[in-house]
Amino acid sequence: MFRHLCKEILLLLPLLLFVSIVAFFLVRCLPVDGATAYLNSIQVPVTQESLSAIRKELGLDEPIFMQYIHWLGQILQGNWGYSYQTKRPVLEELGRSFSYTALLTMATLIWIFVCSSVLGITSALHPNSIWDHCVRFLTSFLSSIPKFWLGFILIIFFSLKLRLLPVQGAGTWQHLILPSFTLSCSYIAIYTKLLRTQILECSQQPFIFYAHARGFSKGHIMFHHILPNILPSILSSFTIHCGSIFSGSVLVETVFGWPGLGRMCVDAVNARNYPMIQGYILFLCTLFVGINLLSECLCITFSPQYRQEKLQ
Amino acid sequence: MTKQRTLDVKQLSISLCHKKKPLLAVHNLSFSLYQGFCTGIIGESGCGKSITCQAILGLLDQKKWTISGEITLNHQLISYQNEQKMCKLRQESIAFIPQNPMSALDPRMTIAQHICEGIPRNRRNVHKNQALALLSRMNLPSPSHLLQTYPFQLSGGQLQRVLIAIALLSNPSILIADEPTTALDYQTQQEILMILKEVTSEHQLSLLLISHDIHVMEQLSDFLYVMYAGQMMEHGETRQLLTHPRHPYTQGLLGAKPVPSIKPLPTLQGIHPPLEQWHTSPCPFLTRCPKAHSSCYLLPETYQNRCSQVVHL
Amino acid sequence: MKKKRLLLPLAPLLLLLFLCLMAPILSPYDPNQLDTVSKFLPPSTLHPLGTDYLGRDLLSRLLWGGRTTLGYAAMISIFSMAIGTFIGIFSGWMGGIIAKAVIKSSDILRSFPNIVLVMIFMTFWGANMLCLSLALILTRWIWYARVSSTITLLQKKRPSILASQLVGCKTSDLLIHHIFPAILPQLSSIFFMDFGHTLLAISGYSFLGFGVLPPQAEWGAMIRDGQNYLSHPEMMFWPGLCILVVVLSTNTFGDYIRDLWEEMHT
């Protein structure tokens, strides 16, 4: 499996390289000169002398290819530059914001897992019943509702009217409930529908009929045969959505004032904080590659057929 | 020789509710299984044989199918409403061998996991050893290695033997085999039939064999029931029935058996009708029967084996 | 399929579309007309939905905002569909590496966080509606391309297509009269669902401040205005409800078309 993973990493390296080139040239090709932008950010008057001094310091007088190599070298050594706004290292800022987003994502995953399992399995066990129709309407509703609007509705209801939960911020575990639930809603809809369809399809398989003929109870068949067999397809959907959960948290973080990656990115774009934007792009793409590899590992672990195909 | 009855099916009728009109898939079917003997049900594809199996096992969806009649196992009526009792019955008394062995087992689990499924931990080793003994008895090479493989790594013949072993491990009194050799090549088919014959007499099972192949019935079954459009046309001891068939349908079936010959193969005219066109009276075979007579229209509905006793025979 | 299933999602959607289209006629006030004296007025005969924090009539802003939101969403969806279908049919017809490249890149883009691409555009060209539209078109065309490419590859092998080619039928005729009708049902189903997603994306980015610039009325921007005045929830309740109704209708209608198509093909 290790060899296979190395092969996958090698295949994804060109993508990472391409992204690094995009991130590098993004700033270099801006209408505003890099040196001028930097001087503006440190509030130093823009004169010929200061411009040439900064150019020499930042290495902007070298050929563009050499600049890229130097920049890549710095990135690989962990020096991702300094944020224009807070003057702190970009990697540190990214790490701090990422920890908050990771926490939010974990909580979101718990909501998705619990709600979609309950709704999906119960509606699949009683297809075309009243409960099934209710669940299907609920999933349509949840997949259509705008997240930022839902967030405010929940704040008005739970925080302002009922005073059960805090409005905004990220101090205690109570701050985590509403944002994670808001973020999870559309994914609950997706996974409930997916679980229901997959369970109903799997129930028609010949080996499920044989398991019934052997005398196993419905519960045993559901948990030992149906759910483990649909796990690889659920996992592969999950890895597709994991990237969008991380990036889609932007809206929810803005509504609830959660200091995560999304909000940091929005602030950086608004303030033209180019090192942060560069760092955000690189970070998110590396994360995306990591999630892809993780999904590959999980699929190989849980599906013997997939394992045989890929490793032999 | 006194035959001990194990399973008794009396007046089994199964109907499907389709567009507010009930469609009769099986009508007034009655037959019995005897310990140590093989009973075969033969008929064309779509005549209701598999539905009968599923009804005996209690695997038909009660919301879609209406089932009437009585099925008794060892003189005790089976109550299909009690799901828990049915599960116990399927685990202990009635075993099933499906048609397609390649898709009958969960592809995620090894053979050993399938064999030990549902067995408490402390009895798993004993169970595995019993399985190994059975598998080596069925001429499977290196059964201990086989236990660690996945179903998609084995051939159809190997898998069918594994399924027979799993069925025997529960010490059932009834073994239902739904077209067990249809998906296999001729050589493997012969081996499986041999195994089934041996286990029936060794373990004193009642084997219910479903097939559309007369060769298979010739080799294995002791009693034969001929089914058409959900109804029993003829029944009797296999040897007697195959040498002296009385019903025109049985005669047609036997006549169509492939034998090396220069002459063209005789076939039954027409095709097996779809479910919507089945009727109970007069005789369902009337439209295809080469010996149809005006008196066939006067046959009473509950007349068992009716055609064999009618004037024109 | 019952007609009820068709009418239920279409009715509110068509009603809203009609109302927003008729905004210049139906809207009682200018959406940007300030009147700081009449701010936060409750619903009345003068202002059916009340007023916002600057005294602007909410109903007028809702209708004009609908024009902006729905207009941009429709434009982006139509452009993505046109570009994606064209490239998809072309790559499917050519087959080989081109088709494989389209399908592979759509797989990668599917899991790639779209926001990164949109942010790149925003940084590069500025945070306004034109750039947002371009960014969204460039991230969404790939869905249509993938579906068109896959179906074209399948349809290409049909005996009727091969026979037409043998007879000397022009490629353009084949593509327009044979391939495109085969793609149309699935494409329309995706279009309606994509319309809903695009609408959510536009209103989402406007909410963040990256789309429509103030004081232009737009549903997402109205919710942004309302976030500082949670004690007057009507400011953001109505635009959000409109977004919900439109997206729910288009999603349901898209599902209906997909079910209809599946029914026809089985």
* ipTM for this model: 0.88
Does the residue C98 lie in any domain? yes
- Residue type, position A306, single letter: Y
- Tell me, what's the pLDDT at B303? 47
Does the residue A149 lie in any domain? yes
| Chain C environment of A251 (Cβ under 8 Å) | 204, 207-208
A156 to chain C, closest Cα gap in Å:
7
Looking from the CA of C192 toward its CB, the CA atoms found within 13 Å total 20
Does the residue A61 lie in any domain? yes
Show Cβ contacts of residue C20 under 8 Å, excluding neighbours closer than 6 positions. Answer: C63, C66, C67, C70
Interface of A with B in 176-205 (CB under 8 A): 205
Domain boundary among A76, A107, A135: A76
CA distances from B140 to B161, B177, B180, B237, C156 (A): 8, 20, 18, 33, 48
Contact between B53 and B177 (Cβ < 8 Å): no
- Tell me, what's the pLDDT at B175? 94
A109 to chain B, closest Cα gap in Å:
26
State which residues form the domain around C226. 66-264
C-alpha C249/C-alpha C246 separation (Å) is: 5
Interface of B with A in 13-42 (CB under 8 A): none
A89 to chain C, closest Cα gap in Å:
21
Count Cβ atoms within 10 A of the Cβ of residue B107 and give its class: 0-12 exposed, 13-18 middle, 19 or more buried: middle
Residue B71's DSSP bridge partners are: B9
C-alpha A297/C-alpha A279 separation (Å) is: 27
Our count of domains for chain C comes to: 1
C-alpha C71/C-alpha B287 separation (Å) is: 66
- pLDDT tens per residue across span C123-167: 777 778 888 898 889 888 888 888 888 888 888 888 888 888 888
Looking from the CA of C254 toward its CB, the CA atoms found within 13 Å total 20
- Residue type, position A257, single letter: G
Does the residue C49 lie in any domain? no
Closest CA to C113 of A278, A239, A7, A271: A239
Cβ contact B96–A225 (<8 Å): no
Contact between A276 and A212 (Cβ < 8 Å): no
Q: What is the DSSP string of C51-90?
A: B-TTS-BHHHHHHHHHHHHHHHHHHHHHHHHHHHHHHHHH
A196 falls in which pLDDT band (50, 70, 90)? very high
Does the residue A179 lie in any domain? yes
Taking the C-alpha atoms of B147, B151, B156 and B159 in order, what is their torsion angle to the nearest 10 degrees? Answer: 40
Does the residue A14 lie in any domain? yes
| Shared-domain flag, residues A244 and A180 | yes
Residue with more model confidence, A79 or B7: B7
Count Cβ atoms within 10 A of the Cβ of residue A118 and give its class: 0-12 exposed, 13-18 middle, 19 or more buried: middle
| Structural Rg of chain A based on CA atoms | 25
Q: Which residue has the tokens 């229209």?
A: B297
CA distances from C60 to A108, C47, C216 (A): 37, 9, 12
Q: What is the pTM of this model?
A: 0.82
C-alpha C173/C-alpha C215 separation (Å) is: 49
| Shared-domain flag, residues A98 and A66 | no
Provide the 3-class DSSP secondary structure of residue B307. helix
Closest CA to B114 of B78, B139, B151: B151
Tokens of C166: 């043998």
Does the residue A86 lie in any domain? no
Is some CB atom of chain C closer than 8 A to the CB atom of A282? no
Is some CB atom of chain A closer than 8 A to the CB atom of C240? yes
Element (H, E) at C35: none
Cβ contact A211–B91 (<8 Å): no
Looking from the CA of C189 toward its CB, the CA atoms found within 13 Å total 14
C-alpha A254/C-alpha C208 separation (Å) is: 8
| Shared-domain flag, residues A50 and A199 | no
Interface of C with A in 4-33 (CB under 8 A): none
| Shared-domain flag, residues A113 and A255 | yes
The distance in angstroms from the start CA to the end CA of chain B is 31
Closest CA to B159 of B111, B210, B207, B96: B111
C-alpha C247/C-alpha B192 separation (Å) is: 59
C-alpha B174/C-alpha A78 separation (Å) is: 71
C-alpha B108/C-alpha A233 separation (Å) is: 14
Domain boundary among A47, A76, A105: A76
Domain CATH number, residue C173: 1.10.3720.10
Looking at residue B153, what DSSP letter applies?
A: G
Tokens of C134: 């371009």
| Mean model confidence pLDDT for chain A | 83
| Shared-domain flag, residues A139 and A275 | yes
Does the residue C2 lie in any domain? no
State which residues form the domain around A138. 94-311
A160 falls in which pLDDT band (50, 70, 90)? confident
Least confident interval from A204-208, C27-31, C185-189, C201-205: C27-31
Nearest to C203 among A146, A269, A277 (CB): A146
Cβ contact B107–A229 (<8 Å): yes
- Tell me, what's the pLDDT at B307? 58
Sheet of B174-178, strand order: B94-97, B174-178, B206-211, B38-42, B223-228, B231-237
The distance in angstroms from the start CA to the end CA of chain A is 10
Residue among B62, B80, B87, B93 with most chain A CBs within 10 A, to mutate: B87
Does the residue C201 lie in any domain? yes
**What's the CA angle centered on C3, arms A133 and C23, to 5 degrees?**
95
| Shared-domain flag, residues A32 and A174 | no
| Chain B environment of A228 (Cβ under 8 Å) | 108
Contact between B289 and B296 (Cβ < 8 Å): yes
Residue B232's DSSP bridge partners are: B227
Does the residue A89 lie in any domain? no
| Shared-domain flag, residues A209 and A71 | no
The mean pLDDT of A171-193, rounded to a whole number, is 91
| Shared-domain flag, residues A183 and A239 | yes
Element (H, E) at C92: helix C58-94
Closest CA to C177 of C186, C189, C165, C166: C165
Nearest to A213 among B59, B83, B105 (CB): B59
| Shared-domain flag, residues A199 and A152 | yes
| Shared-domain flag, residues A230 and A118 | yes
Residue B147's DSSP bridge partners are: none
Our count of domains for chain A comes to: 2
Provide the 3-class DSSP secondary structure of residue C214. coil
Q: In chain B, which residues have pLDDT < 50?
A: 302-305, 309-313
Show Cβ contacts of residue A118 under 8 Å, excluding neighbours closer than 6 positions. Answer: none
B223 to chain A, closest Cα gap in Å:
24
C-alpha A256/C-alpha A178 separation (Å) is: 8
**Beta-carbon pairs below 8 A across chains A and B:** 62
C-alpha B51/C-alpha A194 separation (Å) is: 31
C-alpha A191/C-alpha A231 separation (Å) is: 12
| Shared-domain flag, residues A175 and A98 | yes
User: In b/e form, how buried is each residue of B17-36, taking b as 16+ CB within 10 angstroms?
Assistant: eeeeeebbbbbbbebbbbbb
Taking the C-alpha atoms of B206, B207, B208 and B209 in order, what is their torsion angle to the nearest 10 degrees? Answer: -160
| Shared-domain flag, residues A99 and A226 | yes
Provide the 3-class DSSP secondary structure of residue C47. coil
Contact between C144 and C78 (Cβ < 8 Å): no
Least confident interval from A135-149, A203-217, C104-118, C195-209: C104-118
Cβ contact C247–A277 (<8 Å): no
Tokens of C149: 């490419």
- Tell me, what's the pLDDT at B313? 34
Closest CA to A163 of A148, A145, A178: A178
Domain CATH number, residue A175: 1.10.3720.10
Q: What is the DSSP string of chain A?
A: -HHHHHHHHHHHHHHHHHHHHHHHHHHHTSSS-HHHHHHHHTT----HHHHHHHHHHHTTTS-HHHHHHHHHHHHHHT---B-TTT-SBHHHHHHHHHHHHHHHHHHHHHHHHHHHHHHHHHHHHSTTSHHHHHHHHHHHHHHHS-HHHHHHHHIIIIIIIS--S-SS-SSSTHHHHHHHHHHHHHHHHHHHHHHHHHHHHHHTSHHHHHHHHTT--HHHHIIIIIHHHHHHHHHHHHHHHHHHHHHHHHHHHHHHT--SHHHHHHHHHHTT-HHHHHHHHHHHHHHHHHHHHHHHHHHHHH-HHHHHHHH-
Contact between B281 and B299 (Cβ < 8 Å): yes
CA distances from C107 to A45, A158, A187, A302, C102 (A): 48, 40, 19, 22, 9
- Tell me, what's the pLDDT at A68? 81
| Mean model confidence pLDDT for chain C | 84
- Residue type, position B86, single letter: M
Nearest to B88 among A207, A210, A215 (CB): A215
- Tell me, what's the pLDDT at A9? 74
